[in-house]
Structure 1
Amino acid sequence: MTKITVIGSINLDTNLRVKQMVKPGETIHAKEHYSAAGGKGANQAVAATRSGCEVNFIGAVGNDAPGKEMLGLLKQEGIDTSGVKVINNESTGQAFITVDDAGQNSITIYSGANSGFNADDVAEKRDLLGQSDYVIAQFETPVEATIKGFEIAHAEGIKTILNPAPAMTEIPSALLKQTDLIAPNETEAATITGVQVRDEESAKKAAAKLHALGVEAVIITIGSKGAFYDYNGQSELVPAFKVKAVDTTAAGDTFIGAMTSILKTDFSNLKEAIIFANKASSLTVQRYGAQPSIPYKKEIEQVD
């Protein structure tokens, strides 16, 4: 069983379903309102767990009702939350998500406790990191904490995966030097490299720039077109599975968690792992909510 440690965010999501996105100065009615567990880190941890991984989590929540609820849900998934810091006088992170009838979303995040842990907190969890095959991180938590986690991982011979979301225009070189695989979507890749990713050709140009920054393996997800990879002299756009999307929330997080669940640490089965991840994401976008939409391994294996 693959063992993963996720360094990342934990949010309570507030979701609104609307016919179309609100315009500046406009007031509209929502068709539905509901809350769900979210946060890119927690989503990726849940996706990996449901795909068959053993998962540890390093992050933070507030000492409040949402924090207790989010921790309880992670524990129900079988995720080890001993690395999650509970912070007094700070609220658990929250995300406010609007989804339109086309399945597109708009997300506003309040970081809250997600900004409240640091490199020292991660260093204290060296034992958790040392048990892992992979360490995964995103950009919804302090980058200094991620750098420390990746440094520890590399010192232990553990592979690192960076999902650079939300995108930074300049990722610290100290982090990129410790990153084995980077997996942005097309928008994030454009922000980082300056290359507008629309197809396989432009994705390869963006990948070349990411390699030049020091990352060995690159995956760029391109929405409904699929996922492009460039590694060890091989590159290809792996097509997505064609489905009707109703909500794209957590699709990228599902991709990361599911892919890592079957990825060999020498990346020799990268294409196979991407196909598996594409299957998982195709299920996620047909459902509403973040973690409620993430599929289980049995469901993924039934996708043709």
Structure 2
Amino acid sequence: MTNKVVVLGSLNVDSILRIARLPLPGETMEMNDKSSAPGGKGANQAVAAARAGADTSFIGKVGADDAAEVLRDALKSDGISTEHVTTDENRGSGQAFILLQESGQNSILVYGGSNQALRPADVDAAKDLIKDADFLISQFETPIDTTTYAFEYAQSVGVTTILNPAPAIPTIPTDLLKVTDLLCPNETESATLTGIEVTDATSMILNAAKFAQMGVKELIITVGSRGAFYANQMESGFVDAFKVKAVDTTAAGDTFLGALSSQLKTDFSNMREAIVFANHASSITVQRLGAQPSIPTLAEIQAEYDQ
């Protein structure tokens, strides 16, 4: 059965600036290359879900500018419903500037733009869409109040909610945590929220315990090239990543989450298997340049299983 996934989140035009390393304060450096592509954490996650086989829809905002159609068309090209991607007349479409180093590591500067205009009224307009979904996913590149409102509605109609707390913030509002079924931070975001650095198995378990105290029932912490840790009230475990040579880690976490949502059961009974699938997907992403252009299809992920 195909999962129905709704993503409430951000749409950005990514400008990718390829550099040898980060410049020092006051230093001027030449770039090796530059390019642009559709991105945004929300859009990346939706594309990953759709390419991995989920029936995917999007709730978001674009500006009244040339970028708007590029962003909409990118979603449509992957079969993602854009009925609820609306236009904000007062702000430009979101943009991200990705400083990609030769090592494959990246640093990202984000202009929120129209993403910050997403309001509860946009959720009201999409209630029928949400009600029909298996999962509602959101992140922190759109207003948290709007996400909370959407998650409250989703839980009231039996839809499973997944929160990716990125970019990192010091605390997640209690009202939002109450209506989050699965929390999925990376190790940096987890440490920011718990105050416990993620370094080894013991620190992951301590993070999980702290999150449990906050009311988190299901947790996945992604740990970059090492893999992903998961925990709930019954068990915890670690799923190793697949060893590949990374050329660009942009969208690796977004690919993981989107691919995960395409396979996960709403009762989380296949958590480990879904993480293995998501690890396969993100291992392909990091071997390619760009955000959405690097996200694999279901056929590509399945081919990894056959190797």
Question: Shorter-chain TM-score: what band?
Answer: over 0.9
Q: What does the per-residue CA deviation read over 1:66-92, in whole Å, with 9 as the maximum and x for residues that have no partner?
A: 011110111111111111121113100
CA distance in 2, matches of 1:183, 1:18: 30
Partner of 2:158: 157
Q: Report the number of matched residues.
A: 304
3-state secondary structure, aligned to 1:264: coil
1:93–1:114 CA contact under 8 A, matched in 2: yes
Report the AA paired with residue 87 of structure 1. Answer: D
1:2–1:53 CA contact under 8 A, matched in 2: yes
Partner of 2:138: 137
CA distance in 1, matches of 2:23, 2:302: 38
CA distance in 1, matches of 2:90, 2:181: 37
Report the AA paired with residue 280 of structure 2. Answer: K
CA distance in 2, matches of 1:237, 1:71: 37
1:253 aligns with 2:237: no
Q: What does the per-residue CA deviation read over 1:236-265, in whole Å, with 9 as the maximum and x for residues that have no partner?
A: 111000000010000000000001100011
Partner of 1:279: 280
CA distance in 1, matches of 2:124, 2:214: 25
Partner of 1:29: 30
Partner of 2:60: 59
More divergent stretch after superposition (283-292 vs 228-237): 228-237
Partner of 1:182: 183
CA distance in 2, matches of 1:59, 1:213: 29
1:86 aligns with 2:87: yes
3-state secondary structure, aligned to 1:210: helix
Q: What does the per-residue CA deviation read over 1:167-216, in whole Å, with 9 as the maximum and x for residues that have no partner?
A: 11111111000000000000000000001001221111111111111111
Partner of 2:266: 265
Note the aligned Cα RMSD (angstroms).
0.8
1:200–1:236 CA contact under 8 A, matched in 2: no
The TM-score with structure 2 as length reference comes to 0.98
1:7 aligns with 2:3: no
Question: Could you tell me how far 1:124 is from its partner in structure 2?
Answer: 2.0
1:177–1:214 CA contact under 8 A, matched in 2: yes
CA distance in 1, matches of 2:77, 2:245: 30
Partner of 2:97: 96
Question: Could you tell me how far 1:104 is from its partner in structure 2?
Answer: 0.3
CA distance in 1, matches of 2:201, 2:150: 32
3-state secondary structure, aligned to 2:273: helix
Percent of matched pairs sharing the same residue: 53
Question: Could you tell me how far 1:18 is from its partner in structure 2?
Answer: 1.0
Partner of 2:120: 119
CA distance in 1, matches of 2:241, 2:137: 23
Q: What does the per-residue CA deviation read over 1:131-182, in whole Å, with 9 as the maximum and x for residues that have no partner?
A: 1000000000000110011011101101000000011111111100000000
Question: Could you tell me how far 1:120 is from its partner in structure 2?
Answer: 2.0
CA distance in 2, matches of 1:90, 1:265: 36
Partner of 2:304: 303
3-state secondary structure, aligned to 2:304: coil
More divergent stretch after superposition (129-138 vs 24-33): 24-33
3-state secondary structure, aligned to 2:145: helix
The TM-score with structure 1 as length reference comes to 0.99
Question: Could you tell me how far 1:19 is from its partner in structure 2?
Answer: 1.2
Gaps of 5+ in 2: none
1:227 aligns with 2:228: yes
Report the AA paired with residue 190 of structure 1. Answer: A
CA distance in 1, matches of 2:103, 2:199: 20
1:162–1:181 CA contact under 8 A, matched in 2: yes
CA distance in 2, matches of 1:27, 1:12: 25
More divergent stretch after superposition (273-282 vs 232-241): 232-241
Structure 1 stretches of 4+ with a deviation exceeding 4 A read none
More divergent stretch after superposition (67-76 vs 130-139): 67-76
Question: Could you tell me how far 1:114 is from its partner in structure 2?
Answer: 0.3
Q: What does the per-residue CA deviation read over 1:48-68, in whole Å, with 9 as the maximum and x for residues that have no partner?
A: 000000111111000110011
1:62–1:113 CA contact under 8 A, matched in 2: yes
Report the AA paired with residue 252 of structure 2. Answer: A
CA distance in 2, matches of 1:220, 1:144: 24
